[in-house]
Amino acid sequence: MTTTTETEKPSQKRRTGRSPSYPYIPVHKAIEQARALYEKEGDYAAPLTSAVAAWGYSTKSSGGRQTLATLRYYGLIDVAGDGDGRKIKVSDIARRIILDQREDDSEKKKLIRAVALSPSAHRALFEQYPNGLASDASVEHFLIFDRGFNAEAAKELLTEFKMTASQVGLFQPDSKVDIPSENADNGVAKRPPNLKVGDRVQVTVAGQDMFEDGATVLGFSDDGAYVFTDQADSGAKIEEVTLLEAAEAPAVERPPIPAHLLAARKQDEAPKPGTRKAVFPISDGDVSLTFPEGISGAGLKSLKRYLEIFLDEQIEGASDRPN
């Protein structure tokens, strides 16, 4: 593979501003990069440095970061771990595309179309214009005022999406396209319904990833609609959370809650206005924490110190109690 220098890719210098995330290369180029990684590393999870090297970049280059992000948007790679310790592996759907050499390529085309519509920005465009794109000015207006893109990002996304749509035939009359759902388990989207404390997750709002290296699940709201993490002051909607890496299963399965306790729980008073409640499920039952809705960073640091003191005392006391 020919190494590409930073100066050969002007798109790397784009300013994303506050725009939602979007792929910076069309789908066929992304598949070529997934193929380059597979040819070098096979089915193994490669260190970040090896993965970006397979794409022709250094670890700290903007091109390497953008390629990593784009292949994730398309669902062509699986990423585990944090920061420079991340491991990159070609996803199942990418592997099925790369290795399919059959003369009948109908299934391969279907998979590529699914990959092409995996980025939320692509789905939004296809759902808005299912029979073909409107004028550039109309599409850019939709992206800016309905989807929150800045003007520069809207132009770049439209150019890239046109190339992707042409490559996979999204708007061809005889082309049947199944739009991947947000919760589909097709090797593209990974948003399982049963998250647990300790899982490593990403929160995506309007197509924008909130955390550079993900976050760790700390607990859930009573109704299960919100997830609390170690990287944010407030909860994230469950539908905005994507699993990056599952935590190890607990040694003891959490026992079912007795019916009389469930009934008592329903009678509990709702949290006072301006407060929220996080619930942490452990093997002995639920641990609840009520906190101010707008808790500050300084407040969280103070809470952390108090909890550390409390937990140290409880752990010391627990050592004298039978298991």
Q: Do 137 and 265 share a domain, yes or no?
A: no
What's the domain range around 322?
Answer: 299-323
Q: Do 26 and 133 share a domain, yes or no?
A: yes
Mean of the per-residue pLDDT values for the chain? 78
State the Cα–Cα distance between residues 194 and 113, nearest whole angstrom: 28
Cβ contact 86:79 at 8 Å: yes
For residue 5, what are its two tokens? 């220098």
**Partners of residue 209 on adjacent β-strands:** 204
Q: Do 113 and 254 share a domain, yes or no?
A: no
Most confident of 12-21, 65-74, 199-208, 286-295: 65-74
Taking every pair of C-alpha atoms in the chain, what is the biggest distance, in angstroms? 73
Residue 60 confidence (pLDDT):
83
Q: Do 13 and 136 share a domain, yes or no?
A: yes
Instruction: Note whether residue 276 is domain-resident.
Output: yes
Q: Do 64 and 126 share a domain, yes or no?
A: yes
* Number of domains composing the chain: 3
Residue 241 confidence (pLDDT):
82
State the Cα–Cα distance between residues 55 and 12, nearest whole angstrom: 14
Average pLDDT for 132-147: 94
Q: Do 260 and 305 share a domain, yes or no?
A: no
For residue 50, what are its two tokens? 């090896």
State the Cα–Cα distance between residues 257 and 71, nearest whole angstrom: 42
**First and final C-alpha spacing in the chain:** 58
Q: Do 272 and 230 share a domain, yes or no?
A: yes
Instruction: Note whether residue 129 is domain-resident.
Output: yes
State the Cα–Cα distance between residues 256 and 172, nearest whole angstrom: 52
Tally of CA atoms within 13 A in the half-sphere of 256 that contains its CB: 3
Q: Do 18 and 163 share a domain, yes or no?
A: yes
Residue 173 confidence (pLDDT):
66
Q: Do 307 and 287 share a domain, yes or no?
A: no
pLDDT digits (tens, 9 = 90+) for 149-199: 889 999 999 999 999 999 999 888 665 555 555 444 443 444 444 678 888
Q: Do 218 and 158 share a domain, yes or no?
A: no
Q: Is the pLDDT of residue 291 over 80?
A: no
pLDDT digits (tens, 9 = 90+) for 230-268: 887 677 878 778 777 777 655 444 444 455 444 544 445
Residue 183 confidence (pLDDT):
43
Cβ contact 238:225 at 8 Å: yes
Average pLDDT for 63-73: 91
**Pairing of the two strands 200-205 and 208-209:** antiparallel
Instruction: Note whether residue 284 is domain-resident.
Output: yes
Instruction: Note whether residue 101 is domain-resident.
Output: yes
Q: Do 44 and 122 share a domain, yes or no?
A: yes
More confident of the two residues 303 and 54: 54
Rounded to two decimals, the pTM is 0.56
State the Cα–Cα distance between residues 109 and 114, nearest whole angstrom: 9
Instruction: Note whether residue 189 is domain-resident.
Output: no
Residue 189 confidence (pLDDT):
41
Instruction: Note whether residue 181 is domain-resident.
Output: no
Q: Do 288 and 310 share a domain, yes or no?
A: no
Residue 80 confidence (pLDDT):
84
